[in-house]
Structure 1
Amino acid sequence: MWERSLVLSAPGKVILHGEHAVVHGKVALAVALNLRTFLRLRPCDDSRVCIHLPGVSVRRSWDISCLQDLQKGFTADFDESKSPSVEQLDTLREFAGIAAGATAPESLATLAFLYMCLAISAKYGDVPSVDILVWSELPTGAGLGSSAAYAVCLAAALLTACGAISCPLKDGESTARWTEEELTLINSWAFQGERVIHGNPSGVDNAVGTWGGALRYQSGKITPLKRVPTLRILLTNTKVPRSTKVLVAGVKEKILKFPAIMNPVLDSIDAISQECQSVLEAMPANPSPEYYPVLEELFDINQHQLNVIGVGHPSLDRLCRVTASHGLHSKLTGAGGGGCGITLLRPDTSPLAVEAAKRDLCACGFECWETNIGAPGVTLHSSSSLDAEVLQALSQS
């Protein structure tokens, strides 16, 4: 039985540049968002596995002997390099009482937990008797990588509990991270969790959650940037729902209808991603204000391009106008058509301007967070390193 309590976290993500163009083989830059998902793992002394997800109203527990019997009944092997099989997922749905085709967050989160728990313990040891609570600063369904942060946290916690990776946090340390080899294993299992939830994910979100910083993604290849400064942003959720599938289809239709017009726009978006990568890698860890004008111009240009390809929305136009009235530069992030936008904050941006912008954005009915990007990936924490809100959330029984 795992005998030590631990707390770990993983970041969300935003797309800095390359939305939609990445579907057509262009470069996208994804960066770690320092709104995090936290997981508390405690040993359980009654031979049960417990999961509590207050954000989606899940509280479930199973007897270990039942899980072991279920595990032995599978004919297909569990492996971090293989997609979850239809048989495995159907069996787990039936076991958990989840309807076939259920897509509610609570159903998918429960299914991912069961799959990862059984798969990881099948490969690395007995099903651990643990009590897991997960709490997140990330809103669900907003394109901010909340499911990937959850999967990364689960992978790290379960691999640690099964002894597949170390517990690197030493007495007296506030935080610790795993070795590169261990992070690679965490990422592989987190990707399986993402497959349970999304079916055919790109792997970008779980990679950002694992390694943090920023990643370049192109045609299935994920490359961490050499050096990434931590940049302050406002993240704004317009709360306008949108369908990524419909927006992607709309862009494709425009490209087919006007290829001579649209393809150069995609090439220009690609050039912006690559220019932004060069700028970020040239910036120091704590950049001074003179480094920001190029990043601000790239935000402005890219936002216009995203409107041209048809993924803008009046709510996002309003967001950009509001922040521009305070001397700030914004763009949409993710699928567009509503959803979220990001606003760059220079080191010399006055606190009064930031508060005024936040006030005006909230007056529009939007939800707004002041945070940063370029955050660290999955991390172990001592209790002393956590703020009061996180500690309170994780103190739930």
Structure 2
Amino acid sequence: MLSEVLLVSAPGKVILHGEHAVVHGKVALAVALNLRTFLRLQPHSSGKVDLSLPNIGIKRSWDVARLQLLDTSFLAPEALSPTCVCLFACETEQGDVTAPTPEQVEKLKEVAGLPDDCAVTKRLAVLTFLYLYLSIFRKQRWTKEDLELINKWAFQGERVIHGNPSGVDNAVSTWGGALRYQQGKIASLKRPPALQILLTNTRVPRSTKALVAGVRNRLLKFPEIVAPLLTSIDAISLECERVLGEMGEAPALEQYHVLEELIDMNQHHLNALGVGHASLDQLCQVTRAHGLHSKLTGAGGGGCGITLLKPGLEQPEVEATKQALTSCGFDCWETSVGAPGVSVHSATSLESRVRQALDGL
């Protein structure tokens, strides 16, 4: 059982190339962002499990005794301690990592106690928390095997939310850095440059599950058209991997130009797959007016896009671009890629930083 306040964090991620194609066995390149999500764990003796997700307005509490009445197939009773559970460093008694059954999901919906008009994003977040909480318990140290287990459990959380995810998101947030992902096999990119980017949230909600299904349906309907698109996206990923491997610590401007060309081509391919959106087109147009190149990242259909910042770009021009994007109603952050993966922090050193971040929401 947790004996003191603990802070853990994991980085955000973006996919440079390979969206949707990765679901069909192609290569994806994913990088961890220097933008992190923090989880604060605090023990208490109230007999309740509390969950607070301030970014999406969730604050819930459950009696441990009530949770113990659920089907024991979730896990042994020692998983149920009156505290917020660490969702990362964990293992089942048998070390098994399994997806929730439809029956378990229905039971989770009952115990969640959410109103019928609760937003889908909030509902899925709560169901994912409850499933992971009932399936895992905390360990004290993280070995390589622990990280592999963290990655597997995070993937099951992704399945609750997205249905049939590729596994890229959980992998890069667990391991950090820059990864090459294909058919479940993960390899770190060798000495990738610390690229500076803009991450822009169009604030247009979308369903990853629906978008993935849409691409699959388009592939079935037009195999001779869509299959070559997926192969071409794969080639873009491989070419980007090659260029990143050659850039080193002193990349040439010409290499950035190649990365920009790849960004443009991939964005057109993703539009052809049917996962573009008017908001993403607007994002690309705004940044193009400032001489920058952008593409969607992730599922598309809204969501987020990334913009590559070339070296030597003056800060006033970066700020002007950010302001133009903000004027469109988007949220925009300037950040870099290649952050470390899931980490444990000292509660005393980071408590004030987390509070400041939460106060600014």
Matches within 5 A, 1:90-101: 90-98=106-114
Between the aligned partners of 1:19 and 1:298, the Cα distance in structure 2 is 13
Matching residue's letter, 2:140:
I
Change in CA separation of 1:239 and 1:75 when aligned onto 2, cut-off 3 Å: closer
Q: Report if aligned partners of 2:10, 2:174 keep a CA contact under 8 Å in 1.
A: yes
Between the aligned partners of 1:74 and 1:346, the Cα distance in structure 2 is 54
CA deviation vs aligned residue, 1:36-95 (integer Å, no higher than 9, x gap): 21111112133432222222332233343443x326x42465744222233433333323
Between the aligned partners of 1:104 and 1:276, the Cα distance in structure 2 is 35
Between the aligned partners of 1:88 and 1:246, the Cα distance in structure 2 is 22
Structure 2 residue 56 is the aligned partner of structure 1 residue 56: yes
Change in CA separation of 1:98 and 1:40 when aligned onto 2, cut-off 3 Å: same
Tell me the SS of whatever aligns to 1:49: strand
Matches within 5 A, 1:1-397: 1-67=1-67, 69-70=68-69, 73-75=71-73, 79=92, 80-98=96-114, 104-121=120-137, 159=138, 164-166=139-141, 178-245=142-209, 247-248=211-212, 250-252=214-216, 255=219, 259-284=223-248, 287=251, 289=253, 291-382=255-346, 386=350, 390-393=354-357
Q: Report if aligned partners of 2:74, 2:134 keep a CA contact under 8 Å in 1.
A: no
Q: Report if aligned partners of 1:299, 1:330 keep a CA contact under 8 Å in 2.
A: yes
CA deviation vs aligned residue, 1:312-351 (integer Å, no higher than 9, x gap): 3343233222212222121122233333211011231110
CA deviation vs aligned residue, 1:145-182 (integer Å, no higher than 9, x gap): xxxxxxxxxxxxxx2xxxx232xxxxxxxxxxx43222
TM-score by length of 2: 0.81
Change in CA separation of 1:185 and 1:347 when aligned onto 2, cut-off 3 Å: same
Q: Report if aligned partners of 1:93, 1:99 keep a CA contact under 8 Å in 2.
A: no
The worse-fitting range, judged by mean Cα deviation, of 327-336 and 217-226 is 217-226
Change in CA separation of 1:240 and 1:98 when aligned onto 2, cut-off 3 Å: closer
Q: Report if aligned partners of 1:12, 1:209 keep a CA contact under 8 Å in 2.
A: yes
Shift of 1:33: 2.5
Change in CA separation of 1:201 and 1:267 when aligned onto 2, cut-off 3 Å: closer
Between the aligned partners of 1:384 and 1:344, the Cα distance in structure 2 is 36
Q: Report if aligned partners of 1:30, 1:204 keep a CA contact under 8 Å in 2.
A: yes
Shift of 1:184: 1.4
Q: Report if aligned partners of 2:181, 2:187 keep a CA contact under 8 Å in 1.
A: yes
Q: Report if aligned partners of 1:230, 1:375 keep a CA contact under 8 Å in 2.
A: no
Between the aligned partners of 2:268 and 2:194, the Cα distance in structure 1 is 25
Between the aligned partners of 2:127 and 2:39, the Cα distance in structure 1 is 17
Q: Report if aligned partners of 2:199, 2:307 keep a CA contact under 8 Å in 1.
A: yes
TM-score by length of 1: 0.75
CA deviation vs aligned residue, 1:174-213 (integer Å, no higher than 9, x gap): xxxx432221122222223333333433322111111112
Tell me the SS of whatever aligns to 1:30: strand
Between the aligned partners of 1:346 and 1:385, the Cα distance in structure 2 is 34
CA deviation vs aligned residue, 1:354-389 (integer Å, no higher than 9, x gap): 011111112222221111222211112235764966
Between the aligned partners of 1:321 and 1:116, the Cα distance in structure 2 is 41
CA deviation vs aligned residue, 1:219-277 (integer Å, no higher than 9, x gap): 34333334433321111122334454554455455555655444433322111101111
Between the aligned partners of 1:320 and 1:394, the Cα distance in structure 2 is 31
Change in CA separation of 1:77 and 1:338 when aligned onto 2, cut-off 3 Å: closer
Shift of 1:9: 1.0
Tell me the SS of whatever aligns to 2:166: coil
Shift of 1:291: 4.2
Between the aligned partners of 2:62 and 2:149, the Cα distance in structure 1 is 26
Change in CA separation of 1:61 and 1:316 when aligned onto 2, cut-off 3 Å: closer
Tell me the SS of whatever aligns to 2:204: coil
